[in-house]
Homo-oligomer: A and B are copies of this chain.
Amino acid sequence: MSDLLERLRERGWRLTAQRRVVAEVLDGEHVHLTADEVHARAIERLPEISRATVYNTLGEMVGIGEVIEVATDGRAKRYDPNAHRPHQHLVCSRCGTIRDVHPHGDPLASLPAEERFGFAVADVEVTYRGLCPDCARAAA
């Protein structure tokens, strides 16, 4: 059983076939998938799983902090199972590929109190953009 599923069970969640499949799909991919991509891969293992269940399950996992929701553009959100370790994203501005990266320092610290405007700042998201090696070569 995947670590993710194990953690869900420890939280008292029912282990249904649907949740198992969604967790396995997420854990099994190196790239960050959209909800519909998760659904497509889940269907290969459990043909009757519904779109609503995939959305529900992803939303629940995000809600308890096991999975991170990433919206890098106006298109579909992507789901990142590496929530256990703080990291940021490096996105290719041409092909959209996402890599996890681990920069130095705490980016939250760079926002001084007088720039917080009364917000209770809880989190910071950092997205680096540039051309990936493949696209740089193709563009040359």
Contacts and interface: CB of A to CB of B under 8 A. Distances in A.
Interface of A: 69, 71-74, 76-77, 88, 90, 92-93, 99, 101-105, 107-108, 110-112, 115-133, 136
A108 B129 CA distance: 10
B128 A101 contact: no
B122 A124 contact: no
Contact of A103 (B76, B110, B127): B110
A118 B101 contact: no
Residue among A93, A103, A119, A125 having the largest count of chain B Cβ atoms under 10 Å? A119
Given A103-B111, A107-B107, A110-B104, A124 B129 contact: yes
Given A71-B71, A112-B104, A133-B118, A125 B127 contact: yes
A133 B119 contact: yes
Contact of A90 (B92, B105, B110, B119): B119
Nearest to A133: B118
